[in-house]
Structure 1
Amino acid sequence: MTKRDVVFPPGRQALYERNRYSPAIRSNGFLFVSGQVGSREDGSPEPELEAQVRLAFDNLNAVLAAAGCTFDDVVDVTVFIVDPESKFDTIWKLVPPYWGKAPHPTLTGIGVTWLYGFDFEIKVIAKLPETRELPA
């Protein structure tokens, strides 16, 4: 078995070790990032929805930065939302500052009934900068 090339953001390694998963894995020129939620440093959910979404993006950006990436390197996004019918508009109005300019990454949105006390989770795949194709 190939050894996993794990990426840990600063200050959160204990949280990932306690929950027994890797925040991100580098493989074949890509970075596969585990779902990020609006958790505080102790792992507890941020109770207010807008603050929780911002914190989820902040946590995501910390993982990306630890791998030398930014959201501009993201090629695929999956979001999970508890009760998207009532929360989608609130969540999506917060996205533009994090999302950047077009062309945007691909997106899959999934409505779920439970996220371990959270209302929003985002997972991504990013192309690592050292393997980015040069413009023609």
Structure 2
Amino acid sequence: MSQQRHAVFPAGRQALYEINRYSAAIRSGDLLFVSGQVGSREDGSPEPDFAKQVQLAFDNLNAVLDAAGCRFDDVVDVTTFHTDPQAQWDTLKAIREKEIGDAPYPNWTAVGVNWLAGFDFEIKVIARIPSA
């Protein structure tokens, strides 16, 4: 028997997902697969300040997790994308340490890329949805 996927959207951002034709997250069973989140402002444009862009990406991620009844503590796998990992790492590390909580930490894979549609950082996660 197959499980149907269920789309999850944070409040106030559905139009951006509709324009680009993807879901913020898909719930399948007790897992939540969150699409890459970037530091976009309400209108979808990139936040130009890198530290603020990273924080906004985490804020956007947390809004998606919250919409599914999750927190970052429920995240089991993280993938981040960076346009200049070496130059950006110290800024990211400070924000990351504040956001990820206590051990045990989730898996984390960081990937250097050369294009993120005008952004410099993107984060996608898989979370286990807590039991009701």
Same fold by TM-score, threshold 0.5 exceeded?
A: yes
Which residue pairs with 1:47 in the alignment?
A: 48
Which residue pairs with 1:70 in the alignment?
A: 71
Q: Measure the CA separation in 2 of the matches of 1:63 and 1:105.
A: 17
Q: Measure the CA separation in 2 of the matches of 1:54 and 1:90.
A: 10
Please report how far the alpha carbon of residue 28 of structure 1 lies from its aligned counterpart in structure 2 after TM superposition: 2.2
Report the 3-state secondary structure (helix = DSSP H, G, I; strand = E; otherwise coil) of the residue aligned with 1:26. strand
Identity %: 65
Report the TM-score when normalising by structure 2. Answer: 0.95
Task: Name the aligned partner's letter for residue 44 of structure 2.
Answer: G
Report the 3-state secondary structure (helix = DSSP H, G, I; strand = E; otherwise coil) of the residue aligned with 1:14. helix
Which residue pairs with 1:134 in the alignment?
A: none
Is there any run of 5+ residues in structure 2 with no aligned partner, and where?
A: none
Task: Name the aligned partner's letter for residue 41 of structure 1.
Answer: E
Which residue pairs with 2:5 in the alignment?
A: 4
Please report how far the alpha carbon of residue 121 of structure 1 lies from its aligned counterpart in structure 2 after TM superposition: 0.3
Runs of 4+ in 1 over 6 A off after TM superposition: none
Bigger drift between 92-101 and 46-55 goes to: 92-101
Matched residue count: 131
Q: Deviations over 1:3-26 (max 9, x none)?
A: 530000000000100111000000
Q: How does 1:86-97 map to 2 (within 5 A)?
A: 86-97=87-98
Q: Deviations over 1:39-96 (max 9, x none)?
A: 0011100000000000000000000000000000000000000011111111111111
- Let me know the Cα RMSD of the aligned residues: 1.3
Task: Name the aligned partner's letter for residue 34 of structure 2.
Answer: V
Report the TM-score when normalising by structure 1. Answer: 0.93
